[in-house]
């Protein structure tokens, strides 16, 4: 795993994302940076990320965002597939940052979680 490229799904306006990126750079790693708000992953790519994280979409969606409440004001239950579609359509809903190395991913919340991939 030591030679696997590290990718970070990054939001430069997010302090946790910046801190996670800094940890990688301080470790001498130049990750591939995907600014996911500009280049959002597809629902299928998000499913793969969820599998790598070991999380269901409901576990890495930002449910406190206004965009989440706007999905269905009645608050009805959404399927995991619907959540993936929502995150792909409104990438602000994706919990950040997600850091991937090989077949494993971690959420940079807290940023120190990235040490699991180093």
Catalytic residue numbers?
A: 14
At a CB cut-off of 8 Å and minimum separation 6, what does 53 contact? 59, 60, 98, 105, 106, 107
DSSP type of residue 92: G
> Do residues 31 and 24 make contact, with C-beta atoms less than 8 angstroms apart?
yes
> Do residues 10 and 100 make contact, with C-beta atoms less than 8 angstroms apart?
no
Report the side by side order of strands in the sheet with 104-107.
Answer: 32-35, 6-10, 98-101, 104-107
């Amino acid at each position: 795993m030591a030679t696997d490229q590290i990718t970070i799904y990054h939001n430069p306006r997010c302090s946790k994302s910046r801190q996670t990126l800094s940890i990688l750079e301080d470790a001498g790693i130049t990750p591939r940076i995907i600014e996911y708000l500009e280049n959002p992953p597809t629902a299928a790519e998000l499913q793969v990320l969820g599998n790598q994280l070991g999380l269901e979409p409901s576990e890495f969606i930002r449910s406190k965002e206004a965009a989440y409440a706007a999905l269905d004001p009645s608050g009805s239950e959404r399927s995991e597939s619907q959540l993936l579609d929502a995150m792909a359509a409104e990438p602000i809903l994706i919990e950040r940052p997600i850091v991937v190395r090989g077949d494993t991913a971690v959420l940079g919340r807290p940023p120190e979680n990235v040490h699991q991939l180093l």
